[in-house]
Amino acid sequence: MIIFLSILLIDAGVSRQSAQPDNRFLHRIASRAEFDKFSRTWYEGRFYALPHLMFIIDRASRNRVYYINSKRYSLHREFANANYLTLERGEEFFRHNYLEPERRFILGTIAWQTTRQRFTFEFWEGDRLTPEILNAAYHSLSASFFTGLAFKPNSSQQEDALAQAPDVPAMQPEDIASSLGYQPLNLAEGIGVLRIIERMSEETIIDRNEIVIFKEPPLTLTPLSGIITTTFSTPLAHVNLLARGWGVPNAFIKDADRLFSPLEGKFVYFKTGEDGYTLRPAESAETAEFGRRLAERSDLLTPEADLEFREMRRLSRQRRVDARRFGAKSANLGELFAALGRGAVRDISIPGGFTIPFFYYIQFIEQNRLEEEILTMLSDDRFNHDPAYRKQRLAQLRENISNGRLAPDFVRAVIARKRALLGGKGVFVRSSTNSEDLPYFSGAGLYTSVPNVRDDEALLAAVKTVWASLWNYAAYEARESFGINHAAVYPAVLIQEAINADAAGVLITTNPFDREEPRAVYVNAKRGLGIRVVEGKRVAEQLIYHTQTGAVRVLTRSAEDSMLTFDENGGVREVNIEKDRRVLTDGIVRRLARAALQIEKVFGGQDQDIEWLTAGTRIHIVQSRPFISVSPGAPASGRQ
């Protein structure tokens, strides 16, 4: 009976194949029409349409190619089992056909890259591809596919295999990324007056009701109703994090300035979606509703602050609850010190340092008689209604703070504390306010940090620079938009050992392109200091680490020819580099990801936005804050 059933199954399979020879697979793809018949369309990274079909190459049958009907079969294994190529399943199939060099089957995908108008073939990023397998795949596919193909490597190992297969043409992931027509950076909708800005300057003022097309990515920004950039940017640039906090639509749209110039100066409706966007003239009813919601104002949020605490406490003795004294940036690092001590986080270090609490800012303001100036400014009707005048008054206040006199006792205390804990090392002088890392308001990039401070005089000047940055125009506008009480915002100053980084960047413990993916870590990286990564000034190396498989997927490589490093006299300088385009090894990425997921647990399982750097073989963490994805506290104009 068993033999009979087996024969029936085989006969049934043969019968189906002969009755519908091209319903399940083809051995050759002779035209675009045949590709379209078997291909399905997904949205790569939720950016753009990606028609693709799966293939299997059977090495035991003289490299016979099966072009799979990918509308009918979801997985390579499903097709192989259904057509009796193999009965292996699960772990056995995975190990034999993705990990072993002497595998029977080569499993891959052919895709039509819509942004490059070319076909590519590729493999899962965890596939331990060898040069021999790559060559075999290329020659078998080239002999049976109707047009030319280029190989798209998705991991460091695949790049290494490509380097040893010089006859195989390639298309790098960053070549595809650079030609994208659209990339959503925050999914939302909004209404506002469309404006096109060639380049931001100190004099540029943006109204909150504007949707702006930027021809050059801004380094900082005040609240607005929507953001469009015409050059590619990474999701973790500070401006993009601010857009998430404001809840406004934000996207890269190629040639947007040219496409939508007829709408400049008019009210428009802008919506960003996973697979497309809408930008059109707003209807009168929509404009009226927008005006009504814009006029709404929630009660002022007053962040918690302990203004009596005076100890300049070292980082290792701070805890998360100390945010009311030192700000969240500093207190979170203190919490990580404790986690390191109990073994909850491993394989990282945190640069040592100490923090000047809020008390000393208040003392300085009072001693220099600036309190009345601040309160008068905040209550001035012209200041509140004239953006240009507001920007001017804030600049004058910052100058007054920078020129203020520090109390001799304070000067002695800061210098003594720095020497006792950090000796003659250079330091980063960083802001840590009580208006950062709030629920749905990160405050990312709003305040000023001073890098590689070398001497006492520069240290004291840097402290005042950080205090003054509380009144940066962008910081004020962001707080105003969110409804934060400016008179209740205070800056602490984090003084931390400066590490001259080999590589630096930002990571988040989720996939910003696909929030449905379970457990992934997204990494931005560049050589040298990470200032340009968080500013979004240069496109960084972008990687996705998949926690379930341990695979590292390459989204883009950095093509920079320069990096920032410490200047011997203080500050930073730019130096030329001539190195391999790869910034991080897979080993470093996996170490970063493991540490990041441990850090996520320390902070209650909430997705984390982590700034890191490497020096030699060591990984240093310099900030961890909640990653904001939804913003119920954003302006009404930006809510979905």
In this structure, are 194 and 268 located in the same domain? yes
Last residue of a domain, one of 497, 516, 531: 497
Candidates 127, 160, 147; CA nearest to 57 is 127
In this structure, are 247 and 288 located in the same domain? yes
In this structure, are 319 and 224 located in the same domain? no
Q: Which residues pair with 624 in a beta bridge?
A: 610
Q: Give, in degrees to the nearest 5, the angle at Cα 435 between 430 and 359.
A: 65
What is the CATH classification number for the domain harbouring 188? 3.50.30.10
Rounded to 10 degrees, the C-alpha dihedral 109/114/118/119 comes to: 10
Give the CA distances from residue 464 to residues 230, 458, 471, in Å, rounded to whole numbers and listed in that order: 36, 10, 12
Last residue of a domain, one of 178, 212, 243: 178
In this structure, are 102 and 48 located in the same domain? yes
484 domain residue, yes or no: yes
540 domain residue, yes or no: yes
CA–CA dist 237, 216 (Å, integer): 14
In this structure, are 129 and 220 located in the same domain? no
Domain range for 257 is 182-296
In this structure, are 546 and 399 located in the same domain? no
7 domain residue, yes or no: no
Provide the pLDDT for residue 462.
97
The three-state DSSP-derived secondary structure of 476-500 is: HHHHHHHCECHHHCCEEEEEEECCC
In this structure, are 340 and 354 located in the same domain? yes
Provide the pLDDT for residue 296.
54
Could you tell me the two tokens for 493?
């100053």
Neighbours of 283 (CB within 10 A): 12
Contact 235, 556 (CB under 8 A): no
Q: Are strands 182-186 and 210-214 parallel, antiparallel or unpaired?
A: unpaired
In this structure, are 562 and 620 located in the same domain? yes
8 domain residue, yes or no: no
Candidates 546, 549, 547, 527; CA nearest to 538 is 527
Task: Name the pTM for this structure.
Answer: 0.71
In this structure, are 244 and 222 located in the same domain? yes
In this structure, are 165 and 189 located in the same domain? no
What is the CATH classification number for the domain harbouring 375? 3.30.1490.20
> 277-286: which pairs have CB atoms within 8 A and are 24 or more residues apart?
277/182, 277/184, 277/249, 277/251, 277/253, 279/228, 279/253, 282/191, 286/191
CA–CA dist 367, 404 (Å, integer): 9
Locate all alpha helices (DSSP H) within 247-309, ordered by sequence: 256-259, 284-295
Contact 504, 529 (CB under 8 A): yes
Provide the pLDDT for residue 218.
79
In the predicted model, residues of the chain with pLDDT beneath 70 are 1-22, 42-49, 177-179, 233-238, 290-300, 439-440, 515-518, 530-539, 559, 561, 576, 578-580, 629-640
Contact 371, 365 (CB under 8 A): yes
Provide the pLDDT for residue 589.
94
Contact 95, 103 (CB under 8 A): no
CA–CA dist 334, 350 (Å, integer): 9
Rounded to 10 degrees, the C-alpha dihedral 417/472/394/405 comes to: 10
Could you tell me the two tokens for 363?
């003392």
Provide the pLDDT for residue 532.
55
Domain count, the chain: 4
Contact 514, 187 (CB under 8 A): no
**DSSP structural state of residue 183:** E
Q: Which residues contact 103 (CB under 8 A, 6 or more apart)?
A: 59, 96, 97, 133
In this structure, are 525 and 433 located in the same domain? no
Neighbours of 27 (CB within 10 A): 11
Neighbours of 66 (CB within 10 A): 22
Q: Are strands 118-122 and 48-58 parallel, antiparallel or unpaired?
A: unpaired
640 domain residue, yes or no: no
CA–CA dist 114, 118 (Å, integer): 7
309 domain residue, yes or no: no
CA–CA dist 373, 449 (Å, integer): 24
269 domain residue, yes or no: yes
Neighbours of 632 (CB within 10 A): 8
Rounded to 10 degrees, the C-alpha dihedral 231/235/240/242 comes to: -170
Rounded to 10 degrees, the C-alpha dihedral 616/621/623/624 comes to: 140
Provide the pLDDT for residue 429.
97
562 domain residue, yes or no: yes
Last residue of a domain, one of 265, 296, 327: 296
In this structure, are 555 and 457 located in the same domain? no
Give the CA distances from residue 247 to residues 187, 317, 530, in Å, rounded to whole numbers and listed in that order: 8, 36, 26
Contact 192, 266 (CB under 8 A): no
Q: Which residues contact 131 (CB under 8 A, 6 or more apart)?
A: 161, 164, 165
What is the CATH classification number for the domain harbouring 558? 3.30.470.20
Candidates 201, 99, 245; CA nearest to 634 is 245
Neighbours of 235 (CB within 10 A): 22
